[in-house]
């Protein structure tokens, strides 16, 4: 399969030295890219700024902002059979990016923000026969919220992730996720390495091709 994977955070500049972002390390998305390429899939990895080396045989597209990630996903979508959005896209950006460093003494006390585009929602109408997989990073009422995201974003599968656990979600090498299918199926996976979680997600994707 030709698989498009997004990974890492996006970064929304405030001024030349400061930005808004989140705790995503990119480890889950990079694990997906590594396992998918190892299995012989053709992988394009669209990555926000992370401190990881791209896995072998993966085409890397480096982006910074949510807008850049949206443009890159749009550009590569027509050439793929599946999209896995593992990136933690920043939901907000400063309304105005300052050209000069904001000074401590004269700077604004309040930062005005505007929402970034929701990449999955924007591309919903372009889905066609492609398989769309998303993640849900939650700190409470995980299953209810993930199920809602699955429907709102028109996904085939959502990987629900309780990011408040110290051994799952952001930065660590392990994850504990629940796979929720559009068709209603729910599979709670035990705590395992992100490489193993990636393998389970790809098992599901490969099986969905045969269905």
Active site residue 175: no
Q: Which of 7, 43, 72, 85 binds ligand CTP (CB under 6 A)?
A: 85
- Min separation Cβ 103 and ligand CTP, Å: 31
Q: Which stretch binds ligand CTP (CB under 6 A): 39-47, 93-101, 104-112, 113-121?
A: 113-121
Residue 121 DSSP label: H
Q: 135 or 170: whose CB is closer to ligand CTP?
A: 135
Six token digits for residue 152: 């709102």
Strands (E) located in the chain = 2-7, 12-15, 18-20, 42-47, 58-62, 82-85, 92-94, 113-115, 131-138, 157-162, 174-175, 177-181, 186-188, 192-193
- Min separation Cβ 192 and ligand CTP, Å: 20
Q: By rule CB under 6 A, what count of residues binds ligand CTP?
A: 16
Q: Please tell me the distance from the alpha carbon of residue 26 to that of residue 86, in angstroms, as a whole number.
A: 8
Per CB under 6 A, which of residues 116..155 are in contact with ligand CTP?
Answer: 116, 118-120, 134-137, 149, 153
Helix (H, G, I), strand (E, B) or coil at 119: helix
- 91 belongs to the binding site for ligand CTP (CB under 6 A): yes
- Min separation Cβ 16 and ligand CTP, Å: 24
Q: Please tell me the distance from the alpha carbon of residue 2 to that of residue 197, in angstroms, as a whole number.
A: 20
- 29 belongs to the binding site for ligand CTP (CB under 6 A): no
User: What are the two backbone dihedrals, phi and then psi, of residue 152, each rounded to the nearest 5 degrees?
Assistant: -65, -35
Give the residue numbers annotated as catalytic, written as ranges: 22
């Amino acid at each position: 399969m030709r698989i498009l994977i997004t990974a890492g955070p996006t970064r929304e500049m405030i001024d030349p030295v400061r930005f808004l972002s989140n705790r995503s390390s990119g480890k889950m998305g990079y694990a997906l890219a590594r396992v998918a390429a190892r299995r012989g899939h053709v992988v394009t990895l669209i990555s926000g700024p992370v401190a990881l080396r791209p896995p072998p045989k993966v085409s890397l597209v480096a982006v910074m902002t949510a807008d850049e990630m949206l443009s890159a996903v749009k550009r590569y979508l027509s050439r793929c059979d599946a999209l896995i959005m593992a990136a933690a896209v920043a939901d907000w950006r400063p309304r105005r990016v300052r050209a000069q460093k904001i000074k401590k003494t004269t700077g604004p006390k309040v930062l005005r923000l505007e929402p970034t585009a929701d990449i999955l929602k924007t591309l919903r109408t372009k889905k066609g026969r492609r398989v769309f997989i998303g993640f849900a990073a939650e700190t409470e009422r995980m299953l209810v919220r993930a199920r809602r995201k699955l429907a709102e974003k028109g996904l085939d599968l959502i990987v629900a992730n309780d990011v408040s656990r110290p051994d799952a979600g952001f930065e660590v090498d392990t994850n504990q996720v629940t796979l929720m299918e559009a068709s209603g199926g729910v599979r709670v996976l035990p705590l395992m390495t992100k490489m193993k979680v990636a393998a389970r997600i790809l098992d599901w994707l490969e099986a969905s091709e045969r269905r």
